[in-house]
Chain A
């Protein structure tokens, strides 16, 4: 009886605490960043460094600059486990916090579910290098920001690179897409089909059931078809499994090209030598040389306040987390330039900031991002900003980044984005944004 009473009492006390807790956040002069992340589940190896980078950057800005023009940054992580319903719950939980800034859901499935919700709640949604490809059209998707690239630009660059290797002629070549069988993996298909039609190569689609640990059937198909190239569209545990299967199948790794989500350390580390020659897109550089990473080490990790292990600082996905957060913080800074420095910005004002980002070389140098990304500038109609990307190769121990920068071919992407966005608007019975709306 006694134990039961104690249990009951502690539960009640806990409930009281849980309801009282939000009141503690109601403080002025704080810009709140909700951090949706997944540190558990099949995608945790890749989700964790990403989440660490996002959090460390916020810590660094607070420690080094004292926030944005005096506005402190606060944040709260919410674990989604990459599951859409948990992601929606996290979104609903955090969206009405005071000082709300923007969401980065870290998963394509959650992005789809949130796209309509953020439009109703008027909160920006940034999806750096993932999410909805058609959302590049800011006039149709006023609240989505697929910054720096989408799956369509990634797929386009991969084909460009392969075409270059084949001296511009892909006619009659066989290219297989081994993809994660979810919205994430299927997004590039329309673009690849378009490219296949234009350039006359043969595209075969080989799905791998989520989470991607079981790929025997897929690689059996690869063995049968003997494609000239394999595009790998995987995430998490699927990537290293695919490389191991390729090794077992005897498929040459140097004919394999991964998207940027299949080109980080956790994907190849376990395979090591077996992945030698494997290529992937490189959306951002890695390593500890950039000033921003040095600052994080100096202001956060050296003080023992780092979020993850110190030796993972500067890895590919960690750096991507840093970039995502840096762009979010810059959007707030940009919004403050217009709406008043030292004030807490509302999500609508931050949208203006996101639509007017102008990160030239000078600005990137200030941010310590020189060499990490290329200059980027967004506008009301272009929510992507830039599509620069390189190709990197794994030499068995580290990634070696090639020198050629690629950009997605606008003449292919633009019409597809336009027609996709029109279809979305028609399906939803929505209107394109008025041009006057861009100023607010």
Chain B
């Protein structure tokens, strides 16, 4: 007993300086990797070697200022095919964490979740369900939630049964240079404020880029979002989200969808091949019981986007009839008709179709008609500026 105590005392007195730990692929990967994550000190770098890591349980990190870095998103693969427990592949609950250069495959629940993890950087990360789009895939690929200051840069997500990149109930968000395909929602910014979503490619999802606000959540009142210079192409994947989830209601063929938010600017994007609409603006249309929730969109600005073909096979109930009545195609910008048009503005040089729906009314009561949205121009939200250390970590 005496000897172990002396040793423990010596270890405890050792330098608390930054340390680098390397974990290589091989047997007992679960225990070795999880031990490294637990024993990390603030400032530690955990290098994960190239190869496949076959994991049986979710991994987690709860130490501030740790960098977890692999040999590249195609070189270092954390495979959760044999996962027996935990709701995600990797869970981060500490601040100032950098995740870089590795892949998470086939997790049973979400891919990588970070909760209450401020100033997190996701760089060159791949999350994929390798069996293609399936209802049995996990919900979210990259899932930062309840956090302040988030950078998602150069990330790729394929196959999420909800959203590939999902940012929820957070503030100060940048999602850039990322690729999302084969997900129900490509990128989703939900119940969040101050987000810049730019330079991304969303293709082959049910919906490309979604900006949502939902009731009965601790953080509501989403808004101050810029969606700009993205390519949102051919998002016509059949919706494979399990019923009950809000994204299960997204019609296939949706490019950018704004639901119940305030001051969202959709600018200079390349939008084409989305069979329902390139841009959709709607209220939250489900029943809810939350007096604090604002279900209608306000101050939605759509300007300077380049529109390719869209609206040729509208994926909502009765869409084919509406298209037929309008000569086979509906306009590329669709508004459900709820909310005050004086706060909505579309300046893309393309027609807009209103569904003429009252807030809360079923889609069967739609009275589709062309509309001009010439509402007052709202100030463009300020650029989200990240701390220099986060930008440096993503260099």
Q: Do A and B bind each other?
A: no
Q: What residues make up the interface of B, taking CB atoms closer than 8 Å to A?
A: none
